[in-house]
């Protein structure tokens, strides 16, 4: 999955991650989306271009508007890559890590 590079780079930027999270709650046209951020609309467009290239979001035209939404397949691909990374990464430490992982997860 060679998207992993682009996907991680996309999520690494705080603004882009915020855009992603906002689209996650609800699909939005670019203008309405950009209104929620302190940067210009073209800046948001550029972020969206990266997010879409990374297959984290997708868009659909509706009149003059472009409606952006999250891309479940790209997200699933990234999850698979990361799961495999963690399992390879944890090797001998797998037991300890899983324990630490579930400890906080099971007791919120």
Of these, 23, 48, 54, 77, which contacts DNA (CB under 7 A)?
48
Q: Does 63 bind DNA (CB under 7 A)?
A: yes
Distance in Å, CB of 107 to a second copy, minimum: 12
Q: Does 82 bind a second copy (CB under 8 A)?
A: yes
- Look at residue 60 and give the partner it binds from DNA, a second copy, none, a contact being a CB closer than 5 to 8 Å depending on partner kind: none
Residue 18 or 76: which CB sits closer to DNA? 18
> Is the distance from CB of 50 to CB of 10 less than 8 angstroms?
yes
Part of the chain binding a second copy (CB under 8 A), chosen from 32-40, 41-49, 60-68, 78-86: 78-86
DSSP per residue, 64-80: TEEEEEE-HHHHHHHHH
Q: Does 33 bind a second copy (CB under 8 A)?
A: no
**Helix and strand counts by DSSP (H, E) for the chain:** 6, 3
The CA distance from 8 to 3, in Å, is: 9
Q: Does 24 bind a second copy (CB under 8 A)?
A: yes
Handedness of CA 74, 88, 10, 12 (dihedral sign): positive
């Amino acid at each position: 999955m060679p998207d992993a590079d682009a996907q991680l780079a996309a999520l690494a930027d705080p603004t882009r991650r915020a855009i992603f999270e906002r689209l996650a709650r609800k699909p939005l046209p670019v203008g309405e989306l950009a209104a929620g951020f302190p940067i210009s609309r073209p800046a948001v467009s550029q972020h969206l271009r990266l997010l879409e290239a990374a297959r984290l979001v997708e868009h659909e035209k509706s009149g003059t508007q472009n409606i952006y939404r999250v891309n479940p397949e790209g997200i699933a691909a990234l999850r698979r890559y990361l799961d495999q990374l963690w399992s390879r990464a944890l090797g001998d430490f797998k037991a300890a890590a899983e324990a630490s992982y579930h400890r906080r997860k099971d007791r919120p």
